[in-house]
Structure 1
Amino acid sequence: MGKAGIKGLGMFVVPLMAATFGGKPSVGLVLPMLSMADVFAVNYYSRHAEWAYIKRLLPAAVLGVGVAIVVGQLVADSSFTGLIAVIIIGSLALLLLQENASFSKMLSGHWLGGAVFGAMGGFATMIGNAAGPIMAVYLLSTRIPKNAFIGTAAWFFLLINLFKIPFHIWVWQTINWHSFLADLIALPAILLGVFTGIRLVRLIPETAFRYFVIGITFIICIKILWGLSA
């Protein structure tokens, strides 16, 4: 549902999977599921994507993924939850700043805004598949329409998630045949979620969509922080 446009819902997965399987293993287990959902989201929303924003974000996102790979090799698995907490706290601050008109204009109108958010998104998505709030803040600052928001995010995450997979297989070794088979078992539920998300997005008015995204992202961030501190 999150990949189909109900942004923020996918963030529930982060603390639940980390608590069940451990920080680093959970990231590798979830990634193929997200990639499957990305494919369906891109297939439906592809024509709405704003490639100018994707081109701004991707180079720095690749750099962010590279930094995260190194960090992930250096820290213990238990430290992953702490890293995710830092990312979420930063996202909350950005959500508040983003409502400032001058700050919002600076993000969308300057290449540096795309570079900074791309790098943060790349780092966050490699460490914990937790870049949703970061990308939501940046794309909301552009004031692009609802379907363009979803299509742009869908393409960005499909490309960056496919880029991450080889590193999870051969560097972190968090994806293997056993984890991939578990992901395949989840495919029917992923299809159901995508279909449901597409239907629900149609019912959300354009004006309300922006505030819905901000609200749901804020709630999910609080939920994650609460789970990490428990």
Structure 2
Amino acid sequence: MDLSFYVAAIPAVVLLGLSKGGFSGVGMLATPLVALVISPVEAAAILLPILVVQDMISVIAYRATWDRWNLLVLLAGALPGVFLAYLLAARVSESAVELAVGLISIVFAARRLVIDRRGQGELTAKPNLLIGWLCGAASGFTSMIAHAGTPPFQIFVIPQRLPQNIFVGTSVMFFATVNLLKVLPYFMLGQFSAKNLIVSTTLLPLAVLSTWLGIYIVRRTSSARFITIIYILMVLVGGKLVFNGLSDFAAGGV
């Protein structure tokens, strides 16, 4: 890996750390950033071990603050979602997945921002078992295919207006589990190599520091501001996914 790789990888790892610290969604920019200098498959393979280590830190920090019902419902959907994505890995168009998830994220987040601005932000959506299972399945599927599992999770959980620490803790526990579920399929798909694992190891100190930085910032951000930031991040990440999807289609991707 030359200097250009680390110019892209260092900010990508920092973004992952902020995401694992609580700013859910911003981490989805990491893989596209590294994919500017190496192949997307190799980028995903290098970042996944880093994600697992960052998950361990986040789980320790938020081990006592998560919602059991939401976690169980979402994971019940995520497991078959990851498995289905593994089976269809060679057939599913990543650009189509990114485009669909991006559009849904933008519409959802923009709508919620308008509702909050009109003073209706106190309205709380009642969680639905079937919707939760479907969002969990979509999150597991898109996480496996395109590392874009955050929007489906947020679409289900954010409207419930959980306390900030419960929302972050539930997100941490969910994606820590999903990332572990992805390790075996990624290995079976041949996406790990000794070289990639060595590169991942060199980035681990930065991964640890950036995760603690994310936790520090989140715990000093007010709940109302935090939710607004998450919505804005959803719009930005959704825009990036739409851009990626359209660019792939324009280049002849299917």
TM category (shorter chain) comes to: 0.7 to 0.9
From 163, 183, 186, the equivalent of 1:165 is: 183
**2: distance between equivalents of 1:32 and 1:191?**
12
Deviations 1:122-147 (A, max 9, x none): 11110121112221222212211111
**Selected match of 2:239 from 219, 222, 230:** 222
TM-score by length of 1: 0.88
CA contact (8 A) 2:21 2:58 kept: yes
Which letter maps to 1:88?
Answer: G
Q: Which runs of 5+ in 2 are unaligned?
A: 1-17, 248-254
> Does the CA contact (< 8 Å) of 1:8 and 1:133 recur in 2?
yes
- Offset at 1:85? 2.5
Amino acid at match of 2:240: K
Among residues 16, 20, 25, which one is paired with 2:33 in the alignment? 16
The match for 1:148 is 166
Q: Residue 87 of structure 2 aligns with which residue? A: 70
Unaligned runs of 5+ in 1: none
Contact kept? 2:110, 2:231, Cα under 8 Å: no
Q: CA 1:82 to 1:20, structure 2 compared with 1: closer, same or farther past 3 Å?
A: farther
User: Which residue is 1:183 aligned to?
Assistant: 200
Deviation (angstroms), 1:98: 5.5
Indicate conservation of the 8 Å contact 2:25/2:237, yes or no.
Answer: yes
Counterparts of 2:201 and 2:154 in 1: how far apart (Å)? 28
Judge conservation of contact 2:99–2:246 (CA < 8 Å) in 1: no
Who is 2:74 aligned against? 57
Rg larger for: 2
CA distance in 1, matches of 2:32, 2:241: 6
Residue deviations 1:159-183 (CA, integer Å, cap 9, x gap): 111111011002x111222212111
Offset at residue 191 of structure 1 (A): 1.1
**Structure 1 residue 127 corresponds to structure 2 residue 145:** yes
| RMSD, matched Cα | 2.1
* Structure 1 residue 228: Cα displacement: 4.9
CA distance in structure 1 between the partners assigned to 2:222 and 2:141 by the alignment: 32
Identity across the alignment (%): 24
User: Does structure 1 residue 204 correspond to structure 2 residue 231?
Assistant: no
Q: Which runs of 4+ in 1 moved over 6 A?
A: none
State the distance in 2 between where 1:98 and 1:28 align. 34
CA drift at 1:185:
1.0
2:101 matched to 1:87? yes
Q: Which AA in structure 2 matches 1:111?
A: L
Q: Distance in 1 between matches of 2:102 and 2:147?
A: 12
Tell me the TM-score normalised to structure 2 length: 0.80
From the superposition, tell whether residues 199 and 5 of structure 1 become closer, same or farther in structure 2 (CA, over 3 Å).
Answer: same
